[in-house]
Amino acid sequence: MIDLSRRGFLGAASAAGGALALTGSAHASASAEQDKFPAGEDGRIIIAAMSRPASLDPGLATDMESERIIRQIFEPLLGIDKETGALAPRLAEEWDVSNDQLRYTFTLREDVTFHDGSPLNAEAVVANIERAGRLDYLYGFGNISRSTPLAFPTVFGNFLGTEDCVLDSVEAEDDDTVVLTLSEPVSFLLQALTLPAFGIASPQVLSDSDPGLVSRRPVGTGPYRLHPTEGPETVLESYPDYWGDLSGPEQVVVRPLPRSFDRLRELNRGQADVYDGITADNLRSLVQAGRLILQRDPFSILYMGFNVEHPIMADAQIREAAARAINRESLAAEFFLEGTRAAYQFTPAALGVHSDAARRYSYDPEQARQLLEESDYDGEPLDFHYPLATTRSYLPQPEAVFAAVAADLTSAGFIIRPRPVPWDQGYVEQLMGDENRAMHLLGRNGGFRSPHTFLGPLFGRTTREFHYSNEEVFDVLAEARAESEEEPRAELYRQAAELISEDLPAVPLAYPISGLALGPRVADYPMSPVLNERFSEIVTSEEN
């Protein structure tokens, strides 16, 4: 058995293929842009973010940094009230739901224009929703939900034209009225329509022959429009004809700095006004400097996933040994902000669907070793993927977390072969495409307040992430989606949690707290557990 300490695993990670070179390159490019976009001048605010957006196509948005930018440019039909968390009008001023919950009628706001000057109307909304339902066809992905859990198939069961899709039609009743008709209810549909994935783009950039046009030239109705610039930064400037409040900064620069220390340094140098993705190792210096620190309520999950088609990890006894080998309480306390809790199910406690009957794989290294010894595992090296050069809201220190998890597994008798991949080099796609992968670290942010935002994308159908297939789980989640009564719906989600915990396709590790620190030019920032954070609601010190 190879006995690697946590320090040994960190060393292995740092030495792997020059993987950290990306960080230095990104920082150098960002630094070169600083003279062009200095902080605090002419109403400009700079946000030190964690990575570049992967895409500005709303329908493809699955990562925090893409959604952060998309929320500023594009607007959905419905929003979220920042004070109460309730549904609020956005592009739709009014909405009505039929008694059978199969017909949704939305009345659009008048006098709204896209950034290209064209008017918002019902036809534009219909074109966007239909396009989101055809992304598998437009991009040639086939069943894209088998690899990446996109919003449309997660909400409606599948893409348009498939047997599983419950969206029968979307129609323009007149210029200002959009009607969605379902074949069966979707209990959380209104909440789901607040997602950035349902942001409405100008029809001028929706091209079947060039589906990437909307990402290269994003044109929405939001308070900010994209300012073209070279380099890694995303520059947004306020749209003067915006229909709503324009009291926020005139320009917002989102600067990608994957390393937490670099974001801290830029804040301290006055080259950034907001430092997002605080890590526990930087918290003390922020407190000592008197920085205003804001924390998001926990609404994300970090987990260790298994490839259940792997010849070793297909054995449920071996997966249980791995689950019992990990000290989750220690992970939460050591590598995350205070308030982070160890996770034993895949939905945060605030959603109220935890099951007391679900199996709880508590930390028990003795039992882990015994289970492994009784199995057919014979010390074969197991490939374990984890990201480098990034901070995620659910995984602020990936190298350190991997080192701790891998050391626990090694102590129980597993032989771990580290497979580090820089986040910006396609970490998610690389791990899903590796047939030899045994385990990996990943997480999920909740997009709206329903258990489905976690359980649906992860376990609602077979995906390349886990290769997990349980028709009973799929059916229970589909039944929960259609259940209109709250308590029966909650009981269905509990039932799904029990089945998932029995099968153990992944191990929930933590419900992370994420946060950011503000520089002196920012008095307040619109925090949201579902990351519905609109830059137009940033309050600068001059306004306070």
pTM recorded for the entire structure: 0.90
Residue 136 tokens read as 């598998």
Which residue in this structure is represented by tokens 């004070």?
83
What does the pLDDT average to over 59-76? 94
Which residue in this structure is represented by tokens 């992944």?
506
Inter-residue contact 201 to 97 (CB < 8 Å): no
Give the model's pLDDT for residue 147: 56
Q: How far is CA 526 from CA 280, 407, 458, 504, in A?
A: 22, 38, 28, 37
Instruction: Give one DSSP letter per residue of 268-319, joined into a string.
Output: HTTS-SEEES--HHHHHHHHHTT-EEEEEPP-EEEEEEE-TTSTTTT-HHHH
Tens-digit pLDDT profile for residues 320-362: 999 999 999 999 999 999 999 999 999 999 999 999 999 999 9
Per CATH, is 34-52+232-297+514-543 categorized as 3.40.190.10? yes
CA distance 487 to 401: 36
Inter-residue contact 101 to 110 (CB < 8 Å): no
Tens-digit pLDDT profile for residues 366-425: 999 999 999 999 999 999 999 999 999 999 999 999 999 999 999 999 999 999 999 989
Give the model's pLDDT for residue 381: 98
CA distance 408 to 357: 26
> 6-20+298-511 in CATH: which number?
3.10.105.10
CA distance 412 to 372: 8
Give the model's pLDDT for residue 142: 55
What are the residues facing 306 on neighbouring strands? 439
Report the candidate in 16, 1, 117 with the shortest Cα–Cα distance to residue 402.
16
List, by residue range, all CATH 3.40.190.10 domains of the chain: 34-52+232-297+514-543
Q: How many CB atoms lie within 10 A of CB 382?
A: 23
Instruction: Give one DSSP letter per residue of 401-441, joined into a string.
Output: HHHHHHHHHHHHT-EEEEEEEEGGGTHHHHHHH-TTEEEEE
CA distance 530 to 86: 12
Instruction: Tell me the percentage of the chain whose pLDDT exceeds 70.
Output: 90
CA distance 244 to 309: 51
Q: Around 360, how many Cα atoms within 13 Å sit in the side-chain half-sphere?
A: 10
Residues for the chain: how many in total? 544
DSSP summary character for residue 59: G
CA distance 433 to 437: 9
Give the model's pLDDT for residue 203: 98
Tens-digit pLDDT profile for residues 420-458: 999 989 899 999 999 999 999 999 999 999 999 999 999
Element (H, E) at 256: strand 251-256
List, by residue range, all CATH 3.90.76.10 domains of the chain: 73-202
> 73-202 in CATH: which number?
3.90.76.10
- Indicate the average pLDDT of the chain: 91
List, by residue range, all CATH 3.10.105.10 domains of the chain: 6-20+298-511
> Does residue 11 register a pLDDT over 50?
no
Tens-digit pLDDT profile for residues 249-258: 999 999 999 9
Which residue in this structure is represented by tokens 């029995």?
502
